[in-house]
Amino acid sequence: MIAVQDIVQATAENDMSSVTEVSRAMGMGMGQGAGQAMGINQVLPMEFRQMARGTHMAFGELAQAAEFGSEGVMADLGALMSNCTGCHASYKIVAKP
């Protein structure tokens, strides 16, 4: 959510280099290796992993769009957020007592 807030703020300021930077950080390379050592991917449902992959790909696409200017950035972000809200509505991590 912090990344999305940063993207919205940067877009409002027409700072497409910041939109690109933040979006790229959230793209497909995000967290590579982190969690794999713990086997987290082995316990997450396949559907969750597919949604997460789609979200990270969409951040990468947003970064590419922002490199060419502000046109379409908010529409791309809106589509990306649909993926985020869908995943958060479907999956929750519940701590066991």
Query: What tens digit of pLDDT does each residue of 51-87 get?
Result: 989 999 999 999 999 999 988 899 999 999 998 899 8
Residue at 92: amino acid letter: K
**Whole-Å CA distances, 53 to 8, 17, 44, 59:** 22, 24, 13, 10
**Residue 20 vs residue 28, higher pLDDT:** 20
Percent of the chain with pLDDT over 70: 90
Give the pLDDT confidence score for residue 36 in this predicted structure. Answer: 52
Please compute the mean of the pLDDT values over residues 24-51 and round it to a whole number: 75
